[in-house]
Structure 1
Amino acid sequence: MTTSNWNLDKSHSGITFSVRHMMITNVRGSFNDFDAVVTADTDNLSGTEATITIDVNSINTKDEGRDGHLKSPDFFNAEQFPQIIFKKTALESKGGDDYKLTGDITIAGVTKSITLNAELAGPAKDPWGNVKLGVTADGVISRSEFGLSWNATLETGGFLVGDAIKVHIELEFAKAD
């Protein structure tokens, strides 16, 4: 197979996260507006070029007040930094469908390298003859490394918001060529 462009199928994709709240539970959320530009050769995935762009203003934690706070300068500062951008820098096979996906991620103007555990599935044809690929990736990001350090100390000790953000990504792509 040759290198092809792949279009994101947004109706079968999602980007979600969770963070510890008050040291006793997890708050979950998602980004509802994102896109990806991918060029890949399914016979040589290490050469894949991929960029994911996330609209910070599309954050949804099912609490309008919390979402507003997350968009504020205390966290993402969405007015100044309206996008989170991930650009793939390496893809290393761990055997089978399992990979280490490394990329540069820019959050609130700070760029750091992160590595995610990824699973790649496909290519496969859907019932209408379209060729599809799937990517699932999981990892943890330290929000303080990106300057998202707002917090409040709890009376019982510890902090209101955890530092570790668990990220879960599910993306489905359709071959464009």
Structure 2
Amino acid sequence: MYTSHEAAHPSRQAEAGGPAGRRGLRALIRTKDGWPVRQAVVTVTDLTGQQVVRAEADADGVVSSGPLPGPTPETSAVAADIVAASIDTGNGMRDDHLRSPDFLNVDAYRMISYRSTGLTPAGTDRWTVHGTLTLAGVARPVDLDLAYLGTGPDPWGGLRAAFRAETELRREDFAMTYNQVVRAGVNLIGATLKVELDIQAVQGASLP
């Protein structure tokens, strides 16, 4: 019996009874001369080596399956930790002030952390990530607007996916009320901060 892992081409068409939009398997098994390989068997394994699909070709060499099992984007989770003292704006005096108790208070609160609590679709290749941001010892719910930018091979042989996320924070939500006022009552420091994240994920990679 002939077993192939090479002729599988995912199809976006959802099978009856399966979750809409989840990819199934469709393959066409042929010899070098173009003849169909009858009763060929195609197996699909996950990243741990566990078999998730085993399908046999028909008389025309066609192999197909229902939706492949596996996690959906909605079941994904995000966890991020940043060393607060690593802030770098290109100005040493400003960075020192941002590390002080007026802002990040890095001596008391070493880490900035984010933990997701859910994910909901927000359009084609877009999601809203719901989570909790802990900044300077204060934890607040923060949503991220997430966009999927594409997937491709990297120079090190990995498969890499790119994302961009954006949100806006209010300083006072994290007890950062320091400000300077110049003449005419103009504040030098804005009340809000726009956050832009460029993210790359490598398939199969795990956190240390």
* TM-score between the two structures when normalised by the length of structure 2: 0.62
AA of the residue aligned to 1:157: G
Shift of 1:2: 5.7
Q: Is the 8 A contact 2:77 2:118 kept in 1?
A: no
Q: Does 1:167 align with 2:167?
A: no
Structure with the bigger RCO (C-alpha within 8 Å, sep 6+) is 1
Secondary structure of 1:91 counterpart: strand
Shift of 1:95: 1.9
Task: Give, in whole Å, the separation in 2 of the partners of 1:46 and 1:3.
Answer: 20
What does residue 81 of structure 1 align with? 109
Count of equivalent residues: 141
Point out the more displaced range, 123-132 or 97-106. Answer: 123-132
Q: How does 1:5-24 map to 2 (within 5 A)?
A: none
What does residue 165 of structure 2 align with? 137
Q: Is the 8 A contact 1:118 1:135 kept in 2?
A: yes
Shift of 1:62: 1.0
Shift of 1:128: 5.0
Q: Is the 8 A contact 1:42 1:123 kept in 2?
A: no
What does residue 177 of structure 2 align with? 149
Aligned match for 1:90, one of 115, 118, 137: 118
Q: How does 1:6-155 map to 2 (within 5 A)?
A: 44-126=72-154, 128-155=156-183
Q: Is the 8 A contact 1:97 1:119 kept in 2?
A: yes
Gaps of 5+ in 1: 5-40
Q: Deviations over 1:50-93 (max 9, x none)?
A: 11101111101111011000000111100010111011111111
Secondary structure of 1:65 counterpart: helix
In terms of fraction of residues, the more strand-rich structure is 1
Q: Is the 8 A contact 2:148 2:164 kept in 1?
A: yes
AA of the residue aligned to 1:58: S
Shift of 1:157: 1.9
Gaps of 5+ in 2: 1-44, 49-68
What does residue 30 of structure 1 align with? none
Q: 1:175 to 1:150 in 2, by over 3 A?
A: same
What does residue 58 of structure 2 align with? none
